[in-house]
Amino acid sequence: SLAEVFLPEEPGAAAPVGFLQQLPSYQSALRRRNASGGGTQGYSAERRGAEARRLEQEGGELVARPAREHPLSIAEKRRDLQQADTKYLSGWEQWKRTSNKSLKKVLNEVKELSSYLELWRHDIHSIEGKFGTGIQSYFSFLRFLVLLNFVMFILMFSFVTFPSIISKYGIFNSTFSKIPAQNTEPHCTVYTPSGNKGLVYFYTYLKDLLSGTGFLEVTSLFYGYYTIHTAWFSILSYNLPLAYLLATFFYLALSFFWIIKRSVEGFKQNLVHDEDQFQSYCNKVFAGWDFCITDPNAARLKHRSLQYELQTDLEEERLKRKIADRTVKEKLRIYSLRIFINIIVIAVLSGCFYSIYRATVFSQENSSDISNMNFQANLLVQYLPSIVITLANFIAPQIFSFLIGFEDYSPAFEIRLTLMRCVFVRLANIGVLLFSLWSQISYCATDECKACGYNYKLYPCWETEVGQEMYKLTIFDFIIILAVTLFVDFPRKLLVTHWSFKPVQWCGLQEFRISDNVLEIIYGQTICWIGTFFSPLLPAIATIKYFIIFYIKKISLIHTCKPSARPIRASSSNFFFLLVLLIGLVLAFIPLGISIAHIPSSKACGPFRSFNTSWEVVPYTILGFPTGLQQVLYGIASEAFAVPFFVVICLIMFYFMALAGAHKRVVEQLREQLVLESRDKLFLIRKITEAQRH
């Protein structure tokens, strides 16, 4: 029977003499073992060099690998190189070789020079050494956001703000023209921003700085400043509304593709990784040690965390087996408990959303009523939505991590689910804020209001209002991060170091929670993406904000934090950050899309005064193109083109999916074949030795 044929597996047992020793694979292993008989390395240099060279000659088309890619010591590589040099080469090949070498040298020099330009290279390196690659990935992410915001700022400034400013002041012999609005009621076009005139109290300036009103409202920070339609530089005409819209689309597209490019690596690995659950143990053991750690304290913590992780994983596996053995009654109980807790979660979320809605409505209604309020109360009312959002962002995750304990999931899934819920809360809060703003803006009771399309009395320039709201959110976010570091982290460190009261010591230093910090900055970045359309200079503020936050977080990390006991793997965190950032970007498309294409642009200010909606400038410009081009563009936008295009893309996608499935099947089959081959080999050898004995 088959049982007799398949031998019991003996791991590397004493090789049956004779035939096994004559197998080619055994001989090569023996060669390696023999070389270690001298007491030094187990791998003979010459054997390896010879093998490598033989491989290269066998596969005639194999390109000679550069010397440094051979796993030999420097002395051996030098010998190889000299031997290769003495081989006879034709003149053409020699020239090719030397030009390759010099090209590589030049490229290396350029790479070295450009690494000097990298921002904070040394800081991030030292953080990596002290705290490991998980935390380092947070700081690299922060650096990426600083760069992204800076590029966005350069974009908006050079295409929108700069032409506006120089044509307004007539530099370079430029002039501008404003097309008067046609077909609009005159009452829609009244807009008198109150740039501060005359003597005002000092604190009015402070209030204006913090809430974007007053003197800030009329600067190029906000949408309302850009009233020009065309700017003329000698003979060139520059269509400002079109440039404004296209710059917006361009920065969104740029962010999109840049994030995707950065996440492609992690994407591939995560797709492969998720499918094959079996890799996790090998990954943890073989790639577990973080070779960047130089501090013995950090090393001790790493040991502990590795031990914790391995034990948790083994525990989880035992738990999985237990789950599989659950009875039907237990399953019912757990599922109904989970449904109940999800209902609670939804209730918490609705509570957050409703409070944000009410706060926004209240703030909008009462902030225009400046007369009977003093400075602080007015500021408080202005910032009410930001305060409520920040509170919600703080409280909801605590509730979620408390509730998840009851749902009896495996630990890894628990972490992921809580994280997903927190992400959703943070991003949805912004959406609710914007929605409540819009419901205020487009609330129309009278006919006059309907003629304008928006509430012209309260919001003659509603884009500036939205921009101010985004500006306030950004400033408040920054203030909160600063305040938490100054007034929570440092006092906590002082308390723990100097007061040996038991509960205080049990609380201990805080850990640097990577996921919370990352969600914080992604929240800020989503606000920036949405707000840049309404406030073109917002990316500059965001750049400065993230720049300062880098140093704040670095100082807080070094001085007040203890390393986290639960490790976060660098690879999965990189991909996770970029994925959530991408979700934030996609969510930012929605409000922008609605306000550009659906809500009527304000008729009293801004570059889109003479159009119904902001999007209309594009069809208007296309109408000015030559007829042939118009036909082509209409053709592309029509169904006759879109439907076949969509079908072709679907076909290509299905093809690649089928290809990937086929490859996976082939890999499985080859694996099975390998197992069978090795069994066959052992069986044959047994048979031969038996036959030899008789």
Choice from 272, 636, 649, 660 touching another protein (CB under 8 A) = 272
322 binds another protein (CB under 8 A): no
For another protein, which is the closer residue by CB, 227 or 572? 572
- Residue 134: Cβ within 10 Å count: 23
Instruction: Tell me whether residue 81 or residue 323 sits nearer to another protein (CB atom).
Output: 81
Task: Specify whether the CB–CB gap between 436 and 468 falls below 8 A.
Answer: no
Given a contact cutoff of 8 angstroms between Cβ atoms, the answer to whether 403 and 388 are in contact is no
Which CB atom, from 125 or from 333, has the smaller least distance to another protein? 125
For 197, residues 6+ apart whose C-beta sits below 8 A from its C-beta are: none
- Smallest separation (angstroms) from another protein to the CB of 98: 12
| 518, containing H or E segment | helix 514-532
> How long is the chain?
694
Residue 39 found at the interface with another protein (CB under 8 A): yes
Is 100 one of the binding residues for another protein (CB under 8 A)?
Answer: no
Min dist. Cβ of residue 265 to another protein (A): 9
By the rule CB under 8 A, 81 interacts with another protein: yes
Query: Minimum Å distance from CB 220 to another protein?
Result: 42
Count CB atoms within 10 A of the CB of residue 662. Answer: 10
**Judged by CB under 8 A, which stretch of 170-178, 242-250, 273-281, 337-345 contacts another protein?**
273-281
Q: Are 461 and 224 in contact (CB under 8 A)?
A: yes
- Closest by CA position to 10, among listed 530, 682, 694: 682
Q: Cα angle at 108 between 103 and 111, to 5 degrees?
A: 125
What backbone phi and psi angles, to 5 degrees, belong to 172?
Answer: 55, 35
**Among residues 671, 684, 687, 690, which is the contact residue for another protein, using CB under 8 A?**
671
Which element (helix H / strand E) includes 504? helix 502-507
Out of 196, 204, 230, 269, point to the residue binding another protein (CB under 8 A).
269
Q: How far is CA 151 from CA 255, 539, 586, in A?
A: 10, 9, 19
Query: Is the CB of residue 237 less than 8 Å from the CB of residue 230?
Result: yes
Binder of another protein out of 15, 20, 67, 361 (CB under 8 A):
67
Considering only 20, 84, 306, 480, the residue that binds another protein (CB under 8 A) is: 306
Map the footprint of another protein across residues 520-539, applying CB under 8 A: none
- Scanning residues 125 to 164, which ones bind another protein (CB under 8 A)? none
Q: Which two tokens stand for residue 284?
A: 């943890």
Complex with another protein: residue 7 or 206, whichever CB lies closer: 7
Rounded CA separation 466/117 (Å): 37
Question: Which C-beta is closer to another protein: that of 132 or that of 460?
Answer: 132
Nearer to another protein, 89 or 272 (CB): 272
Q: Does 296 bind another protein (CB under 8 A)?
A: yes
Contact assessment for residue 241 and residue 601, using Cβ atoms and an 8 Å cutoff:
no
Does residue 10 bind another protein (CB under 8 A)? yes
| CB neighbour list of residue 376: distance below 8 Å, 6 or more residues apart | none
Q: What share of the chain is helix, strand, coil (3-state, %, to 5)?
A: 75, 0, 20
Among positions 564-623, residues that touch another protein (CB under 8 A) are 569-572
Using only C-alpha atoms, the chain has a radius of gyration, in whole angstroms, of 33
According to CB under 8 A, which one of 20, 23, 32, 510 is a site residue for another protein? 32
The least distance separating another protein from the CB of residue 33, rounded to whole angstroms, comes to: 6
Contact call for residue 285 and another protein (CB under 8 A): yes
d(Cα 19, Cα 29) in Å, to the nearest integer? 15
Tell the smallest beta-carbon distance from residue 28 to another protein (Å).
9
Q: Which is nearer to another protein, 279 or 630 (CB)?
A: 279
Q: Give the residue, chosen from 58, 61, 69, 447, that forms a contact with another protein under the rule CB under 8 A.
A: 69
- The residue within the footprint of another protein, chosen from 311, 368, 446, 692 (CB under 8 A), is 311
Choose the stretch contacting another protein; rule: CB under 8 A; options: 289-297, 430-438, 449-457, 535-543. Answer: 289-297
Residue 237: which of 179, 152, 189 has the closest Cα? 179
Please report whether residue 289 would count as binding another protein according to CB under 8 A.
Answer: yes
Query: How many residues line the site for another protein (CB under 8 A)?
Result: 71
Look at residues 156, 125, 35 and name the one whose alpha carbon lies nearest to residue 532.
156
Cα separation of 533 and 222, whole Å? 9
Q: Figure out which of the listed residues 2, 74, 236, 623 binds another protein, where binding follows CB under 8 A.
A: 74
DSSP character at residue 489: I
Instruction: Establish if 112 lies at the interface with another protein (CB under 8 A).
Output: yes
505 scored as a contact of another protein (CB under 8 A): no
Q: Does 678 bind another protein (CB under 8 A)?
A: yes
* 36 lies in the site for another protein, by CB under 8 A: yes
Shortest spacing between CB 131 and another protein, in angstroms: 13
In the complex, the smallest distance separating the C-beta of residue 380 from another protein, rounded to whole angstroms, is 48
- Least separation in angstroms between residue 266's CB and another protein is 8
Kindly indicate which of the ranges 74-82, 197-205, 519-527, 623-631 contains the residues binding another protein, using the contact rule CB under 8 A: 74-82
Both tokens of 188, joined, read 């829609």
Give yes or no for residue 40 binding another protein (CB under 8 A).
yes
Distances (CA, A) of 501 to 321, 492, 504, 666: 43, 13, 5, 63
Tokens (6 digits) for 439: 């419901």
Q: Site residues for another protein, window 201-220 (CB under 8 A)? A: none
**Min dist. Cβ of residue 325 to another protein (A):** 17
Question: Considering only 25-33, 178-186, 227-235, 655-663, which stretch makes contact with another protein by CB under 8 A?
Answer: 25-33
Q: Which one of the spans 139-147, 288-296, 364-372, 429-437 is the region binding another protein (CB under 8 A)?
A: 288-296
Member of 4, 9, 61, 325 binding another protein (CB under 8 A) = 9
Nearer to another protein, 648 or 676 (CB): 676
Distance in angstroms (rounded) separating the CA atoms of residues 166 and 175: 9
Q: Which of 101, 450, 457, 664 binds another protein (CB under 8 A)?
A: 101
Distances (CA, A) of 491 to 236, 561, 578, 676: 60, 12, 33, 65
| Single residue of 5, 7, 29, 684 touching another protein by CB under 8 A | 29
**Nearest alpha carbon to residue 149 among 551, 586, 481, 532:** 532
E-state strands within 154-206 = 174-177
Cβ proximity of 606 and 463 under 8 Å: yes
